[in-house]
Amino acid sequence: MNAILNSSVTCVLSVLPLIGVDTTCFAQTPVLVATHRNVAYDDDHKAQCLDVYLAKSDTPTAAMIYIHGGGWRAGSKDHVPRWLRSFVADGQLSVISVEYRFTTIETHPAQVNDCLRAVQFVRHNAVKWNIDTRRLGITGGSAGGHLSVYVALHDDAATPDSDDPIQRHSSRVACAVSFAGPTDWSLLKTIEHRHPAYRQLIGYEPGTPAADLSARLIKDVSPVSFVSQDDPPIMQVHGDKDDIVPLRHASTLHEKLEALGVPSELVVIPGGNHSVAGAADRVAKRPAAFVRQYLLSP
């Protein structure tokens, strides 16, 4: 990214139990109906659409962009985690839930390109949707966590002189929260990754030896490749018993961010498996506080 952030460094390794977390702040969240559904942000494929949940506010609100998981080939934007819906219900921020092309349609970088485009599209419609473009965050779990930190760490995708007015907008975000998201495909060479989605994302058949994977694709698909001093604050929430996305993905990114002075927080869930990716109430208290700090604080 190009602009330098002046945020103070926050590098915290936190440990939370899987049970016993106070979730009363989420308990009474009403069912929310999307303000706008299936809004197309591009026209290459019908999957390129999003749902908009607008907070009721007299002034422009912050917004979180939600990217669902599902191995980059399944899942749905319809299932927004309750911790995000709580913010909408309270009128604190709006939520935009993004659909994207699966690997059954096209492989990397289609998924990240769709998410970058979605951020630009939100900015393009910010006035109409009463959104403050300075306060955009992004979050997701598993594949959605990968895509979220990829967007947050990647250079701005804006093309100021583009004929496409959406493309002229910035793709930068003010913060990101990843739940159990992979960050570094080079780890496939040193840690066993049984899930086929890692290879399918970059166009390989399941079971392809890690040594046979393209070095260029490994670098380009890995968010850790894009870490720089001007990155926004990042939180990662990860279980230490996750056998789908090993904890090392989160710690590697955390260490790289920390080394460059980027605000980074790694929340480790003892005994947590890959279900942490669902961002359930039991693991959402700290992320909610993180969002308040970076999007809602004066």
Domain of residue 258, CATH code: 3.40.50.1820
pLDDT (tens digit, 9 = 90+) per residue, 142-192? 999 999 999 999 999 999 999 999 999 999 999 999 999 999 999 999 999
Q: Is the pLDDT of residue 19 over 60?
A: no
198 and 188 Cβ atoms separated by less than 8 Å: yes
Cα torsion 177, 89, 35, 160: sign: negative
Mean pLDDT score of the chain: 92
Tally of domains in the chain: 1
Q: How confident is the model at residue 198 (pLDDT cuts 50, 70, 90)?
A: very high
Residue 184 lies in a domain: yes
Domain for residue 3, yes or no? no
The mean pLDDT of 106-122, rounded to a whole number, is 98
Q: Which domain holds residue 282?
A: 11-296
Residue 4 within any structural domain of the chain: no
Amino acid letter, 7: S
pLDDT at 28: 57
Q: Are 171 and 121 in contact (CB under 8 A)?
A: no
pTM: 0.91
Tell whether the model's pLDDT for residue 54 goes beyond 50.
yes
Residue 22: pLDDT band with limits 50, 70, 90: very low
| Residue 205 to residue 199: CA distance in whole angstroms | 6
Percentage of residues in the chain having pLDDT higher than 70: 90
In a domain, 5, yes or no: no
How far CA 223 is from CA of 40, 142, 146, 186, in Å, comes to 26, 13, 7, 11
